[in-house]
Amino acid sequence: MQCIRKETSRSKSEELVHQAQSLRVASLNSKLLGMEDDPDLQFLLSGAGLVKVRSSSWKKTRFFKLQEDCKTMWHESKKTLRSKQTFSVEDIDSVRSGRQTEGLKKYTEEALDPRVFSILFKGRRKNLDLIANSEGEAKHWVSGLEKVIFNLSNLSQQSKTEHWIYNCLRKADINCDNKMSPQELINFLHDINIEVDDEYVQMLIEKCDQSKCGSLEGEEIQHFYEILTQREEIDVIYGAYAKTEGMLSAANLLDFLQKEQKEQVDLSYAAQLIEKYEVDETAKAKQQMTKDGFLMYLHQPEGLIMNPAHKRVYQDMQQPLNHYFISSSHNTYLMEDQLKGPSSTEAYIRALMKSCRCVELDIWDGSDGEPVIYHGYTLTSKILFKDAIKAIKEYAFKTSEYPVILSLENHCSVEQQKLMAHHMTSILGSALVTKPLGDHMPTELPSPEDLKRRFLIKGKRLNKLEASLSDQASAEEEESVTEEEDCRDDEEESEKNLSGKSKTLKLAKELSDIVIYCKSVKFQGFEHAQTHQAFYEMCSFKEGDAFKFAEKSAFEYIHHNVDKLSRIYPSAFRTDSSNYDPVPLWNAGCQIVALNFQTPGPEMDLNQGLFGQNGLCGYVLKPSYLRDKASEFDPITLTRGPWLKHKELHVMVISAQQLPKVSQKMASVVDPLVRVEIHGVPADETEKETRHIQNNGFNPMWNENFQFDLYVPELALVRFVVEDYDAVSNNDFIGQCTVPFTSLQNGYRHVPLFNENGDLLSSAGLFVHTMVVNAE
């Protein structure tokens, strides 16, 4: 969250005063970040010229400098309407040294490698590819930015709020006199997303203005800050349990944890929380918790909406692959839409860094003999297949060690198929599964644990897997290579129908041989699959067919998915790369429900919510009734069974904190409302909404209660959505958080909010009370 006030012109004397204050402010902020006297930070604050690289002919020097808030990067621009540009360090996804991006590899020489680096942003913002003046300066930039990003993200919630408000106050003090006039206070409140009338501002000034001069300075501003950040709802809760000298003893805190949070913990656990989060050393020595320490605890993992134990890998990871939901991407190579959007290896990196475990590669013959990836029959740009494999190899296991499936949509000639096989075997090396695990023919798929840091290929195979273990089959295989193979699966047929061209291809033996556990076969009905389809053979379903089966034949679909993998992909007619609702397909036990990771929206929020548990490893164990061959579960009819566990979820939406603006206009202030949605089996799907609060995105309060009845809780996701109310058009999205029902914590909980791209909003959050009870 940034203050967005524009700077005003100053006289020379005012500019000198401003510069002196800037130095003091930068010093205070560097101290808050724990980077006082850090040479890398001092370099960033001084700034330096960097060559910005956009193409082989567009390489121009621009001055970059970290501003005094130690969070905003400024750089000059030669655009006539935009002489200055800024971006927040919090918008940076990563900083990479060397020629690691496509742009730097393409437009710079290898000799520049020590001097170049890239700033990669969250969302769809383009990378900044930069050349420093020297290798030493490049190291300062990379190291400094990485430290600032890390330290900012690790500030406590209280420190984040203090840092943000302090710098907004600083920007609001336009004439740099260290005083806040009534108009400057109004401007400041607008900046932090509150709109108030003159009378309210006057009341605040009178409350804080001890000197009676009509403006605030020094300790008066500090008093104003304390009034502004007071959490009345926290005061009430804290006051009800702080029974020891006005503070929480370990016994008082234990009373709160057991009665309100419904946690089965002991006195030593309460004492550990005090030791861990109390900010006052005197109180800590007495094993007591102040209100500030209590608020600190409520913002930590123990106090958040999601069970912190579920943030680690807590599920059994030794069951067959088909027993898991697998985070899966469609058209992974695309950064935007599938008609004319750019293809990029960066898209693979982003998906893998979000723990996606199944990525798609659409491969076509390249004009220079090298296979390329792009969306066929469209204007999407092309990338080399081997470059994509290199990127996948490097980033596959940075966030999860569990296996990655490469889903091949093969449109290549036999010669370039051989090259594909060569690139995968040479680049991926021993990490590529090229034969069944063990010495004998398996009878079921291996587990994620068995396949840690391994790659699986999903594609066509010329023969049965059993033949690969038989010496007798080798001669027959050689002959079969020359036969016409129908390499079409349902997805390729959809493309054929759009293009009007046949997709029948020959299949190279070299490529066929590395398809082991994910052999693509055409779906010919559930009965045929039951009798003819091997455990290692899998079908791809276009979304229309999959939804039809999930609704009309859910029982059969579930049984099909008990021992076989199914991959679902969006309709070819979704030219904008929009997504379908994945929930009905998860309800039917489908494992590889592929979504367009490049397209934000509610569907990706649900995907992020489901896979936000189990250590963000990209695999979530399906409930037992979606793994049992004798299961009678049907999400549509909901007959009685172990899946039917009627629960009541009580949610009180209490308040929100520091919601971001949805418009960058200074006078724009949000009117927030909160919607609580339940996603799961049809009987559980519902939503309820609070009233909107006018002109307050900083600390709105609702105190509204909702009750939800859930019948299949293991499949339910709870989504908290915050929107800016609009009476004449659609509400604007502010933030959301989706949590599996089984991961919810009871009691008073903060709910972190994520933006539309799935990135955490650093200061924003909801405060709620939740309670799950067994229904009568």
What is the structure's pLDDT at 9?
Answer: 56
* Predicted TM-score of the model (pTM): 0.89
CB 436 within 8 A of CB 465: yes
Q: Are 562 and 629 contacting, i.e. CB atoms less than 8 angstroms apart?
A: yes
- Residue 577 resides in a domain: no
- Beta strand pairing call for 116-121 and 82-88: unpaired
Say which CATH number the domain at 666 has. Answer: 2.60.40.150
Let me know how long the chain is.
Answer: 776
Residue 524 lies in a domain: yes
Q: Answer yes or no: is 694 a known binding residue.
A: no
Cα separation, 474 vs 274, whole angstroms? 68
Average pLDDT (289-297) is 94
Q: Is the pLDDT of residue 579 over 50?
A: yes
Tell me the CATH number at 494: 3.20.20.190
Q: Does 654 reside within a domain? A: yes
CA distance 154 to 22: 24
pLDDT digits 0-9 by tens, 440-450: 899 999 999 99
Q: Using the structure block, give the residue that is written with the tokens 């724990």.
A: 34
The DSSP symbol for 595 reads E
Question: How much is the pLDDT for 339?
Answer: 76
Q: Is 329 annotated as a binding residue?
A: no
CA 505 to mean position of chain CA atoms: 38
* Residue 701 in tokens: 């309060």
Residue 400 and residue 494 in one domain: yes
Q: Do residues 332 and 425 share a domain?
A: yes
267 and 341 inside one domain:
no
CA-to-CA distance for 297 and 279, rounded, in angstroms? 10
With 0-12 CB in 10 A as exposed, 13-18 as middle and 19+ as buried, what is 347?
buried
The reply to whether 288 and 367 lie within a common domain is: no
Work out the pLDDT band at 478, boundaries 50, 70, 90. Answer: very low
Q: Which helix (H) or strand (E) element contains residue 479?
A: helix 473-480
pLDDT score at 710? 97
pLDDT above 90 (res 436)? yes
Q: What is the CATH number of the domain that holds 237?
A: 1.10.238.10
* Alpha-helix residue ranges (DSSP H) falling in 306-373: 345-353
- The last residue of a domain, from among 154, 182, 213: 154
Position 458, amino acid:
K
Q: Which of 176-190, 252-266, 756-770 has the lowest mean pLDDT?
A: 176-190
- The pair of structure tokens assigned to 132 is 């420093």
Instruction: Note the pLDDT tens digit of each residue in 303-333.
Output: 999 999 999 999 999 999 999 999 999 999 9
| Same domain for 364 and 299 | no
Is 540 marked within a binding site?
A: yes
Query: Is the distance from CB of 59 to CB of 96 less than 8 angstroms?
Result: no
Q: Which residue has the higher pLDDT, 185 or 652?
A: 652
The amino acid present at 588, given as its one-letter code, is: A
* 357 labelled binding-site residue: no
Does a structural domain hold residue 72?
Answer: yes
Instruction: Look at residues 484, 506, 540 and tell me which one is the last residue of a structural domain.
Output: 540
360 annotated ligand binder: yes
Instruction: For residue 67, give the nearest of 47, 51, 93, 50 by alpha carbon.
Output: 47
CB atoms within 10 A of CB 430: 9
Do 143 and 65 lie in one domain? The reply is yes
61 is in an annotated binding site: yes
Element (H, E) at 231: none
Q: Quick one: which of 274, 29, 248, 36 has its CA closest to 159?
A: 29
Which range has the worst mean pLDDT, 22-36, 630-644, 739-753?
Answer: 22-36
76-134 residue pLDDT tens: 877 655 545 889 898 999 999 999 998 999 999 999 999 999 999 987 788 899 999 99
SS3 string, 171-215, reads: HHCCCCCCEECHHHHHHHHHHCCECCCHHHHHHHHHHHCCCCCCC
| 56 among annotated binding-site residues | yes
Per 3-state DSSP, the chain is made up of helix, strand and coil in percentages (nearest 5) of: 35, 25, 40
Share of the chain above pLDDT 90, in %: 70
Q: Is 77 annotated to bind ligand?
A: yes
Same domain, yes or no, for 294 and 350? no
Judge whether 725 is annotated as a binding position: yes
Asked if residue 491 has pLDDT above 70, the reply is: no
Determine whether the annotation assigns residue 152 to a binding site: no
Q: Binding residue per annotation — 66? A: yes
pLDDT tens-digit profile of 654-667?
999 999 988 766 56
Judge contact between 417 and 511, C-beta under 8 A: yes
Q: Per the domain annotation, does 166 fall within a domain? A: no
* CA distances for 360 relative to 351, 357, 597, angstroms: 11, 10, 11
Whole-angstrom distance, CA of residue 381 vs CA of residue 445: 36
Contact 278, 289 (CB under 8 A): yes
pLDDT per residue as tens digits for the range 198-240: 777 888 888 888 888 888 887 888 888 788 888 999 999 999 9
Q: 198 phi and psi, to 5 degrees?
A: -60, -35
In this prediction, residues 525-530 reach a mean pLDDT of 96
Cα–Cα–Cα angle for 613, 617, 621, nearest 5°?
65
**Domain region containing 46:** 34-154
Q: Are residues 351 and 464 in the same domain?
A: yes
| pLDDT exceeds cutoff 50 at 575 | yes
How many distinct structural domains can be found in the chain?
Answer: 4
Q: Is the pLDDT of residue 489 over 80?
A: no
Q: What gap in Å lies between CA 732 and CA 673, rounded to an integer? A: 10
d(CA 90, CA 69): 12
Q: Which two tokens stand for residue 191?
A: 């900046």
Whole-angstrom Cα Rg for the chain: 29
Annotation-wise, does 58 bind a ligand? yes
Percent of the chain with pLDDT over 70: 91
Other C-beta atoms lying within 10 Å of the C-beta of residue 221: 19
Same domain, yes or no, for 296 and 401?
Answer: no
- The whole-number average pLDDT for the span 535-564 is 96
Question: Does 67 appear as a known binding residue?
Answer: yes
Provide mean pLDDT across the span 369-394: 92
Q: Which three-class secondary structure state does DSSP give residue 648?
A: strand
Can you tell me the distance from the alpha carbon of 282 to that of 511, in angstroms, rounded to the nearest whole number? 68
646: amino acid identity, one letter: H
CA distance 179 to 530: 78
722 and 766 in one domain?
A: yes
Tokens of 736: 């959301």
Asked if residue 729 has pLDDT above 50, the reply is: yes
Dihedral, CA atoms, 363, 364, 365, 371, nearest 10 degrees? -20
Q: Is 409 annotated as a binding residue?
A: yes
Is 679 labelled a binding residue?
Answer: no
Nearest CA to 190 among 669, 724, 694?
669
- Per-residue model confidence (pLDDT) at position 210: 84
Distance CA 730, CA 735 (A): 15
**Which of 410, 534, 414, 564 lies closest to 466 in space, CA to CA?**
534
CA angle 471, 473, 475 (to 5 degrees): 100
Q: What is the DSSP letter of 696?
A: B
Of 25, 75, 71, residue with least CA distance to 47: 75
End-to-end CA distance of the chain: 45
pLDDT of residue 488: 41
Give the tens place of pLDDT for each residue, 656-697. 999 998 876 656 789 999 999 999 999 999 999 999 999 999
C-alpha to C-alpha distances, 664 to 1, 2, 185, 303, 454, nearest whole angstrom: 11, 10, 19, 32, 46
Coil, strand, or helix at residue 14?
helix
Range name among 47-51, 216-220, 267-271, 770-774 with the lowest pLDDT average: 216-220
Residue 15's pLDDT is 57
The pLDDT of residue 215 is 83
460 annotated ligand-binding residue: yes
Beta strand pairing call for 717-724 and 732-740: antiparallel
How far is 400 from 115, CA to CA, in rounded Å? 31
Residue 484 has pLDDT above 80, yes or no: no
Last residue of a domain, one of 273, 303, 333: 303
Residue range 376-392: mean pLDDT, rounded: 90
Tell me how far apart the alpha carbons of residues 721 and 44 are, in angstroms, rounded to a whole number: 37
- Domain assignment present for residue 683? The answer is yes
Q: Is 671 annotated as a binding residue?
A: yes
733 is in an annotated binding site: no
59 assigned ligand-binding residue: yes
Residue 79 is assigned to a ligand binding site: yes
Q: Among all residues, which ones are annotated catalytic?
A: 330, 375
Same domain, 386 and 256: no
Residue 591 in any domain: the answer is no
Residue 423's closest CA among 341, 366, 506? 366
Instruction: Kindly give, in sequence order, each residue whose CB lies less than 8 Å from that of residue 152, ignoring residues fewer than 6 positions away.
Output: 33, 70, 71, 89, 90, 160, 762
Q: Give me the pLDDT at residue 358, please.
A: 98
**Quick count: other Cβ atoms within 10 Å of Cβ 220?**
19
Q: Are 341 and 473 in a shared domain?
A: yes
Tally of CB atoms within 10 A around 411: 18
- Residue 240, C-beta contacts closer than 8 angstroms, at least 6 positions apart: none
Confidence of residue 163 (pLDDT cuts 50, 70, 90): confident
Average pLDDT, the chain: 89
Assigned domain for 117 exists: yes
Q: Is it the case that residue 473 has pLDDT exceeding 50?
A: no
Q: Does the annotation list 464 as a binding residue?
A: no
SS3 call for 108: coil
Yes or no: say if 603 and 580 are a contact pair by the CB < 8 Å rule. yes
